[in-house]
Amino acid sequence: MLRSVFKCIIFIFPLLLIAQEDYSAMRKTMVKEQLQQRGIFHNPTLDAMRKVPRHLFVPEGLKESAYRDTPLPIGHKQTISQPYIVAYMTSELQPKKKHKVLEIGTGSGYQAAVLAEIVDSVYTIEIVEPLGIEARDRLKRLGYDNVEVRIGDGYHGWPEQAPFDAIIVTAAVEKIPQPLIDQLKEGGRLIIPVGPIPEFRMLQLITKKRGKIFTENKLAVRFVPFTRKKEKN
Ligand code: SAH
């Protein structure tokens, strides 16, 4: 009995190692073909995306598709963004080691993990409770101790932790929530998909310099909508 268990372990262990190697190779190819070849050169972002196991952030049945050039469903009508969009938004924030970052729209937790590889701390808010709980457990299991997940409406930001060096919003708004602009540090960067038409939103980069707000249109994108919790009276 013991012998067959032992045999089984000896047989399965190399298979598991091979599977890990495969995913690592898929990540390298993803970074080269989907990111570098399309003009993403920010090394900390590329390194993080070579490292974070994206296949562990998607539903079990979609693992093999995790490194494809596409967004994927994660349940509750939400999606994990396409790798290129994650990389683009991350690099536009110009994240640094000592930074404190706020994310609105935790989803699977993948974007938070990519940022957590680069910066000091990530605060992320998810409005759909089961997604938030799942992402919190997943990030903990994978050892991302520098990410804190809050369940709630991200419209109000995270005042107790403000101000932030960078803010990333991964759901589309019609109008940028003022609390997020207020919670941006001097010199800080906010990236957010904005616009009224679901099939066409504009990724906007907001910067704060000497108290003034500057807006740049960056890239046309598709994003799931930013939703609101009904305020209690
Ligand atoms: N960054 C995610 C992708 C998230 S998709 C990832 O890496 O997987 C956008 C997410 O924003 C969804 O999970 C959606 O539920 C969430 N969301 C939408 N409106 C929100 C709000 N007002 N506050 C917080 N999260 C919100």
Residue 120 pLDDT > 90: yes
Q: Closest residue (by CA) to atom 17 of ligand 1? A: 105
pLDDT at 17 over 90: no
Task: Please report the pLDDT score of residue 230 as a whole number.
Answer: 62
pLDDT tens, residue by residue, 142-159: 999 999 999 999 999 999
110 Cβ below 6 A of ligand 1: yes
* Domain presence at residue 167: yes
85 within some domain: yes
Q: What is the pLDDT of residues 52-105, one digit of tens each?
A: 999 999 999 999 999 999 999 999 999 999 999 999 999 999 999 999 999 999
Containing structural domain, residue 110: 69-221
User: If pLDDT is split at 50, 70 and 90, which confidence band does 21 have?
Assistant: confident
State residue 4's pLDDT score: 64
- Provide the number of structural domains found in the chain: 1
Flag whether 128 is in a domain: yes
81 is known as an active-site residue = yes
Residue 152 maps to a domain: yes
The alpha carbon of 71 and the centre of ligand 1 are apart by a number of angstroms equal to 13
Q: What is the best residue among 62, 78, 151 to mutate for testing ligand 1's pocket, by most ligand atoms within 8 Å of CB? A: 78
Query: What angle is formed at CA 112 by the lines to CA 59 and CA 127, rounded to 5 degrees?
Result: 70
Confidence of residue 199 (pLDDT cuts 50, 70, 90): confident
- Out of 4, 24, 65, 81, the active site residue is 81
Atom of ligand 1 nearest to the CA of 108: 8
Q: In this structure, is residue 19 part of a structural domain?
A: no
Residue 207 maps to a domain: yes
pLDDT of residue 5: 59
Mean pLDDT of 34-38: 98
Residue 98 lies in a domain: yes
Nearest CA to ligand 1 atom 18: 226
Residue 44 lies in a domain: no
Q: What CATH number is given to the structural domain containing 154?
A: 3.40.50.150
Query: Mean pLDDT, to the nearest integer, of 171-196?
Result: 97
Confidence at residue 191, expressed as pLDDT on a 0 to 100 scale: 98
